[in-house]
Amino acid sequence: MVRFILVGIEGSFNLGLIARTCMNFKIDELFIVESRVDLSEAFKYAANAYSYLSKAIFTDCLTSALKNCDLIVATSAIGYSPGDVVRQAISIEEFVENIRGFNGRLAVLFGRESTGLTRNEISKADILVTIPANPEYSVLNISQSVAIIAWELWKLRELKAVNIPPKASRDEIDQLNKLIYSVSHELFKTIDKIERLQTVWRRVLYRSHLSKYECKLLEYWFRRLNNKLKRTNKNIS
């Protein structure tokens, strides 16, 4: 379970984009603390995430937004300050590795567009996370930060995307490979050449990460070619 908490968000446009992002990457809960936005404008920018934003929980108390959370994470562009115990962050990559296998409710805090989270708000978190960026301009827009972290958590939770075609199984690729081997036998008589070509084909097929549909079409094409070659060779002989 993932809960995103926006503290003192100031821009209606940003809130609308964040709602869309949360819906894109299936963030379970959205809490908004001390909102400063025109909500009617935010709903316009939310587009098809209107219903998601309408379920967001608005509160003036950060403590209540953190209730029932098992792990609290704060985010900041200022991840390190010498001698500052509060500003000792880990990178987003390290954070994701650290929570692999975590099954509780995770809360992620995002601060104001203008000033970020206060030191007191950061101190309420168990972990401080930062997104490495260009040192000369490392401050991301809040909607960008939300998108990056939401996507990393999406990958971590191994949620299935519907816009990615299913990959061909090993059995399906092996079947295609056997068909190509048969075609090679019709084209060449030297076993050594056939074997070398087959090694190349096998590696190409596995490097290609074929979808099931692509594999099926290639199998159809090679089967037609194989049948035609067999008929041709039979007529010649």
Domain spans in the chain, listed from the N-terminal domain onward? 2-157, 170-235
pTM given for the model: 0.74
CATH class for the region spanning 2-157:
alpha beta
First-to-last CA distance in the chain? 69
Residue with tokens 């959205």: 30
Q: b or e along 64-73 (b: 16 or more beta carbons within 10 Å of the residue's beta carbon)?
A: ebbeebeebb
- CA dist 91 and 50 (Å) reads 32
pLDDT tens per residue, range 2-58: 999 999 999 999 999 999 999 999 999 999 999 999 999 999 999 999 999 999 999
Instruction: Say how far apart CA 97 and CA 88 lie, in whole Å.
Output: 17
pLDDT in the model for residue 82 = 74
Please report the pLDDT score of residue 146 as a whole number. 97
Query: Tell me: the pLDDT tens digits for 49-84?
Result: 999 999 999 999 999 999 999 999 999 988 777 777
pLDDT at 192 > cutoff 70: yes
Q: What is the dihedral of CA 40, 44, 48, 51, to 10 degrees?
A: 0
Distance CA 152, CA 108 (A): 13
Average pLDDT over every residue of 172-181: 93
Highest mean pLDDT out of 29-38, 126-135, 156-165: 29-38
For residue 59, what are the β-bridge partners? 33
Q: Decide if pLDDT at 128 tops 70.
A: yes
pLDDT band at 161 (very low <50, low <70, confident <90, very high): low
Q: Phi/psi at 135 (nearest 5 deg)?
A: -55, -25
